[in-house]
Amino acid sequence: MPDMTKKVALVTGASRGIGAAIAQRLATDGFNVLVNYVSDAKSAEEVAETITTAGGNALAVQADVCDSGAVERMFATAQDVFGGVDVLVNNAGILTRAPITETDDETFDRLVSINLKGTFNTLRVAAKSLRAGGRIINTSTSIIGSYLPNYAVYAATKAGVEAMTRILAKELGGRAITVNAIAPGPTATELFFTDAPQTMVNHITQITPLGRLGKPEDISNVVAFLAGPDAGWVNGQVLRTNGGLV
């Protein structure tokens, strides 16, 4: 049986990459963790097993964040298994690269549905059900600062996430719930390397002041801070976690 005295973290898109690193870090910090996934059950179960093997409590839970009903059921599962949710980390998202002129309707709608509406769906439920003193941590992108070509629609969806972050922080202030966002720069994950030309990877590495791509652990460390007690006075902020690139 899980330790019901522990706080509970729900991490969306946690079956691999940054999401998996966040789930594992929060478990190390003493949270019961829900490892959300949409289709890759095997990877999500492996993340949960890694956590439980290390002495933590974790549950892989399937839900497509685009589906508001599925999101509500996911939070209900958290209530049934762990007694509620204290920390929501919105990590689920997709990345595409294309000029505006070559972005078709299907791609545009998919980016908006997952990155923007998916975040909205979880925020709406969390705003009603998160326990007092909780934390909401959304994921944006440092591209909003660099304005790289070929990322217009992706950046636009994340700009919407940043706007919701700042406004929800004000709406929930009376319940001592903080709402912040992280904005990673280029991070060495499968998502980033998909269709990424090596010349682009080399260029980004060279122009980053710290001389490397980010690692998932670089991002999970910042999330752990925002989820922990030392960040109680940080609210409505976007932390650019990019090694000084922007």
Determine the pLDDT at residue 5: 87
Burial class (CB in 10 A: 0-12, 13-18, 19+), 42: exposed
Assign 170 a pLDDT band (cuts: 50, 70, 90). very high
Domains of the chain: which residue ranges? Answer: 8-186+216-240
Determine the pLDDT at residue 174: 85
pLDDT tens by residue, 3-58: 888 999 999 999 999 999 999 999 999 999 999 999 999 999 999 999 999 999 99
Determine the pLDDT at residue 1: 67
| Whole-angstrom distance, CA of residue 76 vs CA of residue 26 | 21
Q: By percentage, how much of the chain surpasses pLDDT 70?
A: 99
CB atoms within 10 A of CB 100: 11
Query: In the CATH scheme, what is the code of domain 8-186+216-240?
Result: 3.40.50.720
Let me know if 154 is a catalytic residue. yes
pLDDT at 209 exceeding the cut of 70:
yes
Which candidate in 37, 147, 151, 154 is catalytic? 154
Assign 223 a pLDDT band (cuts: 50, 70, 90). very high
Give the pairing type, strands 238-241 and 32-37. Answer: unpaired
**Please, what is the average pLDDT of the chain?**
95
| Whole-angstrom distance, CA of residue 136 vs CA of residue 89 | 6
CA 229 to chain centre: 19
Name the E strands within 66-217.
Answer: 87-90, 135-139, 178-184
| Lowest model confidence (mean pLDDT) among 34-43, 105-114, 154-163, 169-178 | 169-178
| Whole-angstrom distance, CA of residue 204 vs CA of residue 193 | 12
Q: Which two tokens stand for residue 113?
A: 């549905």
